[in-house]
Amino acid sequence: MLGIDIVSIERMQRLVARFGIKGLRRFLSADEINLCYKDSSKAFNISRIAGFWAAKEACAKALGVGICKELSFLDMTISKDSKNAPLMNLTQSKMREFGIDEIALSISHDGGFAIAAVLCKRCEKA
């Protein structure tokens, strides 16, 4: 199942300017927020924040539910592998609920936009 989302980086800039870290906590975990700092100055990498938003929206679309009671932003987490590539995970209960055993994620930024594509692989039936 495939989901794709695109978001304006400027939109995320406005969100951060208006709500700060409290706004980020509505859709990012503490570990994800830490990944969004540019450096030790504690300035945010807004492109990365936009990419994470798009990734979570794309995942929800791949699962066919959108962001709702059935799947919240915080049911999904984004991390990085040893080569700094993004990884998408769901909570174990959501993986079981949706019958997913693998998720692939790609994020890109260009021209003032962040885009993400998520591919969810269903568990093989025995």
Could you give the domains of the chain? Answer: 2-122 (3.90.470.20)
Q: What is the pTM of this model?
A: 0.93
Give the model confidence (pLDDT) of 82-112 as tens digits.
999 999 999 999 999 999 999 999 999 999 9
- Kindly state the tokens that stand for 93: 């209960």
5 among the known binding-site residues? yes
Q: Exposed, middle or buried: residue 68 (CB in 10 Å: 0-12, 13-18, 19+)?
A: exposed
Distances (CA, A) of 45 to 60, 85, 109: 23, 16, 12
Q: What is the pLDDT of residue 66?
A: 87
Q: Does the annotation list 39 as a binding residue?
A: no
CB 56 within 8 A of CB 73: yes
Which residue is associated with the tokens 């939109």?
Answer: 11
| Rounded Cα distance, 57 and 40, in Å | 28
Q: How many residues does the chain have?
A: 126
Checking if the pLDDT of 126 tops 70, the result is no
